[in-house]
Amino acid sequence: MMAILAVWVIGLSLIGTALADDLPRIGYSEKVPVEDLVAKGYRWITVDGPYAGATEEEARKIASNRTDFVELQMVEEGRAYYLIPGMLVRVTHDDSANGMSEILLGGITRPLWTYTKYLTPRPIPDTYGVVETPETYGFIDPSDFGGAAIPDTAVTAKPQPHGTAPNLQAQ
- Residue ranges of the domains in the chain? 33-132
Q: What is the mean pLDDT of the chain?
A: 75
User: What is the separation, in whole angstroms, between the first and last Cα of the chain?
Assistant: 92
At 35-74, the pLDDT tens digits run: 888 999 999 999 998 889 999 998 888 888 778 888 888 8
List phi, psi (to 5°) of 95.
-110, 80
pLDDT bucket at 141, cuts 50 / 70 / 90: low
Model pLDDT, residue 149: 46
Q: What pTM was computed for the model?
A: 0.64
DSSP string, 17-28: HHHHTHHHHTT-
| 43 to 19, 89, 154, 170: CA distances (angstroms) | 19, 5, 39, 48
CA atoms of 53 and 114, how far apart (whole Å)? 7
Half-sphere exposure of 117 (CA within 13 A, CB side): 7
Query: Which amino acid, residue 138?
Result: G
For the segment 149-164, the average pLDDT, to the nearest whole number, is: 52
**Cβ count near 132 (within 10 Å):** 24
pLDDT bucket at 148, cuts 50 / 70 / 90: very low
Reference 63, options 77, 78, 53; nearest CA is: 53
pLDDT at 129 over 50: yes
Better-predicted residue by pLDDT, 34 or 30: 34
